């Protein structure tokens, strides 16, 4: 079940990032000279996507380390019994 959750989290974050990048470039194509302040919104979404991706990467690494520790402890407990 951990693999299914990891794959679904990664795919959802990547889908949100792709939507944010498409929204940014679409906004840039239709941009006129008097709406320079509207660029901040898409940049915030891209920043949120990058931060979420980094956090997701850290969570996945920590979960794999935790699963390895649990697996090692389980083998030790089985040997001592």
* Rounded Cα–Cα distance for residues 4 and 11 (Å): 11
What pLDDT is recorded for position 35?
A: 56
- Would you say 56 and 9 are in contact if contact means Cβ atoms under 8 Å apart? yes
Local structure of 53: helix, strand or coil: helix
* Average confidence (pLDDT) over 54-63: 79
* Rounded Cα–Cα distance for residues 2 and 17 (Å): 23
Supply the mean pLDDT for the chain.
Answer: 70
pLDDT tens-digit profile of 27-41? Answer: 666 555 555 556 676
Provide the number of structural domains found in the chain.
1
In which domain, by residue range, is 37 found? 2-80
What pLDDT is recorded for position 30?
A: 59
Cα three-residue angle 15-20-25, rounded to 5 degrees: 125
Taking every pair of C-alpha atoms in the chain, what is the biggest distance, in angstroms? Answer: 74
pLDDT tens-digit profile of 69-80? Answer: 666 665 555 555
């Amino acid at each position: 079940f951990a693999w299914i959750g990891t794959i679904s989290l990664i795919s959802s974050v990547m889908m949100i990032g792709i939507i944010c990048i498409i929204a940014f470039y679409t906004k840039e194509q239709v941009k006129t000279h008097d709406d320079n302040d509207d660029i901040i919104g898409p940049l915030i979404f891209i920043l949120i996507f990058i931060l979420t991706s980094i956090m997701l990467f850290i969570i996945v690494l920590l979960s794999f380390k935790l699963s390895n520790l649990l697996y090692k402890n389980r083998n030790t407990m089985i040997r001592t019994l």
